[in-house]
Structure 1
Amino acid sequence: MALFPDVIVNNETIPSAAIAAEAQNHEAPKDKPGIAWRKAAQALAIRTLLLQEANRRALTSDPLELAPGRVETEDEALIRALLDEALTIPPVTEEDVRAEWARDPDRFRSAPLWDVSHILCACDPRNQDECAAAGTRARAVLARLDGDPKSFAAAARDSDCGSKASGGHLGQLGPGDTVPEFEAPLRSLPEGGMTPEPVLSRHGWHIIRLNATAPAQVLPYEAVRPKIAQALEKAAWARASRDFIEALAEGAQITGASLEPI
């Protein structure tokens, strides 16, 4: 007996090998591989429904170049052509955009900026001996500082980062400008504060000083209007796509897969 039933959409069987390959693209708990299989079966059942409808309408494909070296497949182009023909998306109006912004203007903020200095004791964290030696060195530097930020620039002369030429100063950083393990302590440090313990990143051990911070600011409507309009357009397209697929499914015979959310 097969572990999973065949997936059949309007008398068209989706090969198990295709579902197994698609399952690689879907997350699931390690102890529940069946969830990935069901997600893959659902995705391929929807794809099959759409391709069947495209063929019923005698649509032709015209693959587009999505990015350098990345061109749509014939199936992707057919599905795009189908959705372009079948979906009618009402235009997003100025009133729609302003109403979405007015629901909670506080959601739309600039990113915070941190003015940062650091001292790096470089190492490969995967090398235990090297990591331990660099950690010992970093703790010794931190002990010499003894919480005194004024001596930070002098201590930074021994840093393994090129910023040592400017007293360890890295300039202004925003979210995503550095590795996550370095960014995390910046969010809780007070202005003028240093990390109480060295921080390990993929580059080595850091002693981090937050010189100053510019908090996130609420952005004016005109600055965020394009972003809100784009989000509303995407949401409208997603709703229309979902409704179209549901309508196709209501008139189809599908076994071995469910189109209900998993």
Structure 2
Amino acid sequence: MTAALFPEVVVNGEIIPSAAIAAEAQNHSAPKDKPGIAWRKAAQALTIRALLLQEAQRRGLTAEPEELSPGRVETEEEALIRVLLDQALTITPVTEETVREEWAKNPERYRSAPLWDVSHILCACDPRDAEGRTAAEARANAILEKLDGDAKDFANAARESDCGSKASGGHLGQLGPGDTVPEFEAALRELPEDSISPAPVLSRHGWHIIRLNAIASGQVLPFETVRPKIAEAQEKTAWARASREFVETIAKGAEISGTCLAPI
């Protein structure tokens, strides 16, 4: 992807450098075979940034950068945009009624995290080592074939595991979301209770044969517990909507070439 493939982006006479768009494109996702999508998303983002900064300048705004987190301070441009939006946006306050209405639509959505009682057999390898990965997979498949779906014999088969849990039949105990690597957790979420993964699961540690012994579904949480989360989500939604509408308003009176602000 080169800048020559894309038109020059100009916002009210201000040229956005192609190098800046290329750098911004690294922050936007796109299919591997369609890098132009990332470029167009980046061009949009920088166009919006330019519009906001131009509007702040038109209003004669000034801003003092604030500390965002320990060791990270806003840039002057970030501070100007913050001050502009604080001045320009009118956000409808979230009320107790709107929060309760959202919760009442489906209280089942708000549950505590599930717990999985899990055992596994690990055939360790470095996934980056093709030869070692293939050998470990073959070994895992051989163990899985011997099990033949028999979850009851799992503890005996776990003696062949490369994990210290083999001393307790491969038992890992109770795990919750985030307690294990993403690949392992994704497989857990697909398994029925009292079953074994139909194929070995690869993670950074090697190949796993996973047994889901039992699952404790999360409990429905009371309104008082989830109220802050719902209110925060509604506030963010309202702010995003107001921001989008404000950008659309100033864009209507702008001269923009080389990009558009329609959703990609």
TM (normalized to structure 2)?
A: 0.86
Which AA in structure 2 matches 1:233?
Answer: E
* 2:76 paired residue number: 74
Mapped partners of 2:140, 2:35: distance in 1: 44
Q: CA deviation at 1:219?
A: 2.4
Amino acid at match of 1:172: Q
The verdict on how the C-alpha distance between 1:31 and 1:168 changes in structure 2, with shifts beyond 3 A counting, is closer
Cross-structure match for 2:128: 126
Assess, with a 3 A threshold, how the Cα gap between structure 1 residues 228 and 188 changes in structure 2: closer, same or farther. same
Q: Report the CA distance shift for 1:170/1:250 in structure 2 as closer, same or farther (over 3 A).
A: same
Shift of 1:154: 4.2
Select 2:235's aligned residue among 208, 233, 236: 233
Q: CA deviation at 1:123?
A: 1.2
| Residues 180 and 3 of structure 1, relative CA distance in 2, 3 Å threshold | closer
Asked whether 1:15 is paired with 2:17, we answer yes
What SS does structure 1 have at the residue aligned with 2:52? helix
Change (3 A) 1:135 1:19: closer
CA-CA distance at 1:48 after TM superposition: 0.9
Q: Aligned-pair distance for 1:240?
A: 1.0
Match of 2:208 among 199, 206, 209: 206
Provide the C-alpha distance between the structure 1 equivalents of 2:119 and 2:154, rounded to a whole number of angstroms: 9
Q: Report the counterpart of residue 115 of structure 1 in structure 2.
A: 117
Residue aligning to 1:189: 191
In structure 2, what is the equivalent of residue 219 of structure 1? Answer: 221
Judge which range, 67-76 or 43-52, deviates more: 67-76
Identity in percent:
75
Pair 129,58 (structure 1): closer, same or farther in 2 beyond 3 Å = same
Partner of 1:175: 177
| More deviation, 223-232/53-62 | 53-62
Change (3 A) 1:197 1:234: closer
Deviation at residue 225 of structure 1 after TM alignment: 1.0
| 1:101-140 deviation line (CA, Å, top 9, x unaligned) | 1222222233321100112121123323323333343344
Change in CA separation of 1:153 and 1:258 when aligned onto 2, cut-off 3 Å: same
Q: Determine if the alignment matches structure 1 residue 48 to structure 2 residue 50.
A: yes
Q: Which structure 2 segments of 5+ residues have no match?
A: none
Q: Distance in 2 between matches of 1:54 and 1:190?
A: 56
Report Cα offsets for 1:186-232 as digits up to 9, x if no partner. Answer: 23433332234433322112222212111233322222111110010
Deviates more, 1:60-69 or 1:244-253: 60-69
In structure 2, relative to structure 1, the CA distance for the partners of 1:155 and 1:230 (3 Å cut) is same
Moved more, 107-116 or 75-84: 107-116
What does 1:22-61 align with in structure 2 at a 5 Å threshold? 22-61=24-63
For the aligned residue pairs, the C-alpha RMSD in angstroms reads 2.4
Per the TM alignment, residue 241 of structure 1 is displaced from its structure 2 partner at its CA by 0.7
For residue 168 of structure 1, report the CA deviation from its aligned partner: 1.8
